């Protein structure tokens, strides 16, 4: 069981069944996750129909299929590499991501990113579930079933109950769910890909843009499904790699998480782009009907599995972020509450398409904070501290923690990075269209400016107003950084 006041799990707890771990470091005896476990978790989280749609977005922006493939591959090489680097933080410390944020922002200064990470996942759960409902209905209609709006509500209810239950049960159940379902899903995806190339008249080089407009379209696609996609997952990374076996090498963890992010994202984005290039448009249900009508039942399985595999990861992390705000409830309770709030948001989506699209735009705009957060976090962990952390001090009271109560260097750098990201952001709503993005014809470099400016600002500000940390005095060697996990305390 978990101590409600501290969130500390019983060290003698079995690895099977219910996971009662809170936000304290996972004991070594409970760190049993293998590289394959991590690969399946992140593959499952990214085999989502939204990636088909985002891949098709490149075609709608006027890019050719070859141009889309280049942007998606190059962008995800960078995005997945950043993701793998953040995953190493959880592997080395056994602590979740929003607790590790206390390094750069202080014990209570980290409340700011933690609060954003509480609110954002609940919205994404609703968005991810809502996106697949039309696709599920289209697949059922292909099989001869029709039920109108009531069918959508039924599918939504079944999906929400399943994902809330799995997330509330915890990491062990998430691990088992992904391990045993993903091989089947990938086999279906392979058949779907073959069908797409057989049934769709794919156009490889057709483009409707040129010059600066092509670069602008490529930059927007890069933010949506290129490097921006990997960046959007950084705030979840360590919540799962904290369960990896302490004896695993850093390279093993990096490769497993990198591939788990890179392969499904590139695969689905390219598949969506290939189908859209044949003239099927960007509407998800039309993409399904155009290419996969003959496989309606297997496709329905993929569609239902997609949001569940993604949302169980999201709900679980939302609960951990809530505990990082010093909410004194069991993790499973917070998971259920997060899922219920997401269900209410989904209900309003189903009641009003206008509300759903407006909320979706808001969520896309909200993600802009992750890039500067990542710049500060990665700079602090790898450059300032050299990967060395006194884990116990992360849980000490702010007035006595060696990492301080509020690290103003981190918060100020985050603010500067947010501004830098906004001026180069080309969002879907006017408020999220920065002046430099507009001046350059829609070029979106928000992920780059936000991350680089925030990281550079932190390097400058940390010696001036950051709290001196003893474990940053000695830089570890490369062999120490790439050695066994667990050696994080001086």
Q: What CATH number does residue 224 fall under?
A: 1.10.4160.10
Alpha-carbon gap, residue 71 to 60, rounded angstroms: 14
Alpha-carbon distances of 284 from 178, 200, 225, 351, 394, rounded to whole Å: 24, 15, 16, 20, 44
| Total domains, the chain | 1
pLDDT at 359: 63
Q: Is 12 exposed, middle or buried (0-12, 13-18, 19+ CB in 10 A)?
A: exposed
> 15 in a domain, yes or no?
no
Query: pLDDT tier at 306 (50, 70, 90 boundaries)?
Result: confident
Cα(458)–Cα(460) distance, rounded to whole angstroms? 5
Q: What percent of the chain has pLDDT over 90?
A: 58
Q: Tell me, what's the pLDDT at 249?
A: 97
| pLDDT over 90 (residue 2) | no
Within its chain, how far is the Cα of 199 from the centroid?
32
Q: What is the pLDDT of residue 364?
A: 63
The domain of 291 spans 38-475
- What are the Cα distances from residue 195, in Å, to 151, 329, 490? 28, 49, 55
424 lies in a domain?
yes
Read off φ and ψ for residue 33, nearest 5 degrees. Answer: -70, 135
- Is residue 9 in some structural domain? no
53 Cβ contact partners less than 8 Å away, ≥ 6 residues apart: 131, 272, 282, 284, 287
3-state secondary structure labels for all residues of 68-124: HHHHHHHHHHHHHHHHHHHHHHHHHHCCCHHHHCHHHHCCCCCHHHHHHHHHHHHHH
Cα-based angle 219, 224, 227 (whole degrees, multiple of 5): 75
Instruction: Tell me if 233 sits within 8 A of 78, measured CB to CB.
Output: no
Alpha-carbon 475 to chain mean position? 30
Q: What distance in Å separates the CA atoms of residue 310 and residue 307, rounded to the nearest whole number?
A: 5
State the angle between helix axes of 296-323 and 35-46 in degrees (0 to 180), rounded to the nearest 10: 110
Q: Considering the chain, what is the average pLDDT of its residues?
A: 85
Q: Which residue has the tokens 């996972």?
A: 26
pLDDT at 365: 64
Backbone dihedral angles phi then psi of residue 183, each to the nearest 5 degrees: -60, -40
| pLDDT given at position 196 | 78
* pLDDT tens per residue across span 77-87: 999 999 999 99
The answer to whether residue 488 is domain-embedded is: no
Note the pLDDT tens digit of each residue in 376-428. Answer: 999 999 999 999 999 999 999 998 999 999 999 999 999 999 999 999 998 77
Which residue from 433, 439, 300, 410 is spatially nearest to 364, judged by alpha carbons?
433
Please name which of 262, 241, 235, 460 lies closest in space to residue 368, comparing C-alpha atoms.
235
For 142-194, the pLDDT digits (tens) are: 777 777 788 889 999 999 999 999 999 999 999 999 999 999 999 988 988 88
Backbone Cα Rg of the chain: 22
Tell me the CA distances in angstroms from 383 to 376, 387, 486, one per residue in order. 10, 8, 19
* Interval 98-151: pLDDT, tens: 999 999 999 999 999 999 999 888 888 988 888 888 778 877 877 777 777 888
Angle value at C-alpha 408, between 461 and 235, nearest 5 degrees: 95
Size of the chain, expressed as the number of residues it contains: 490
**Interatomic CA distance for residues 1 and 414, integer angstroms:** 37
């Amino acid at each position: 069981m978990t101590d409600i006041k501290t969130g500390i799990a019983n060290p003698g707890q079995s690895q099977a069944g219910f996971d009662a771990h809170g936000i304290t470091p996972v004991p070594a005896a409970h760190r049993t996750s293998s590289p394959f476990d991590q690969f399946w978790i992140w593959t499952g989280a990214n085999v989502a129909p939204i990636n088909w749609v985002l891949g098709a977005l490149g075609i709608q922006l006027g890019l050719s299929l070859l141009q889309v493939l280049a942007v998606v591959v190059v962008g995800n090489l960078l995005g997945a590499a950043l993701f793998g680097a953040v995953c190493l933080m959880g592997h080395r410390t056994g602590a979740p991501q929003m607790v590790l944020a206390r390094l750069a922002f202080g014990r209570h200064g980290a409340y700011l990113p933690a609060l954003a990470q509480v609110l954002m996942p609940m919205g994404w759960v609703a968005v991810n579930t809502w996106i697949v409902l039309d696709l599920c209905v289209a697949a059922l209609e292909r099989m001869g079933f029709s039920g109108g709006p009531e069918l959508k509500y039924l599918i939504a209810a079944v999906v929400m109950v399943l994902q809330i239950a799995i997330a509330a049960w915890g990491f062990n159940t998430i691990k088992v769910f992904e391990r045993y379902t993903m091989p089947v899903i990938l086999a279906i995806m392979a058949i779907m890909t073959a069908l797409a190339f057989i049934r769709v008249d794919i156009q490889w080089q057709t483009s409707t843009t040129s010059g600066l407009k092509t670069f602008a379209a490529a930059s927007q696609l890069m933010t949506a499904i290129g490097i921006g996609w990997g960046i959007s997952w950084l705030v979840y990374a360590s919540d799962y790699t904290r369960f990896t076996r302490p004896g695993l090498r850093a390279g093993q963890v990096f490769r497993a998480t990198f591939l788990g992010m890179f392969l499904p994202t590139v695969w689905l984005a390219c598949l969506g782009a290939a189908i859209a290039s044949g003239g099927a448009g960007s509407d998800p249900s039309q993409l399904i009907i155009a290419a996969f009508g003959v496989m309606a039942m297997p496709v329905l399985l993929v569609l239902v599995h997609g949001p569940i595999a993604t949302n169980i990861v999201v709900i679980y992390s939302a609960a951990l972020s809530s505990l990082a705000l010093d909410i004194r409830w069991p993790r499973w309770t917070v998971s259920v509450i997060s899922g219920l709030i997401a269900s209410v948001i989904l209900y309003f989506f189903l009641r009003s398409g206008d509300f759903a699209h407006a909320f979706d735009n808001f969520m896309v705009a909200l993600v802009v904070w992750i890039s500067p957060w990542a710049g500060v976090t990665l700079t602090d962990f790898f450059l300032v501290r050299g990967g060395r952390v006194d884990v116990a001090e992360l849980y000490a009271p702010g007035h006595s923690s060696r990492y301080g109560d509020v690290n103003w260097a981190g918060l100020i750098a985050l603010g500067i990075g947010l501004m830098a990201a906004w001026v180069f952001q080309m969002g879907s709503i006017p408020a999220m269209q920065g002046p430099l993005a507009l001046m350059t014809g829609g070029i979106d470099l928000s992920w780059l400016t936000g991350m680089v400016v925030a990281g550079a600002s932190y390097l400058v500000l940390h010696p001036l107003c950051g709290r001196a940390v003893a474990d940053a005095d000695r830089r570890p060697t490369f062999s120490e950084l790439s050695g066994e996990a667990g050696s994080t305390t001086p």
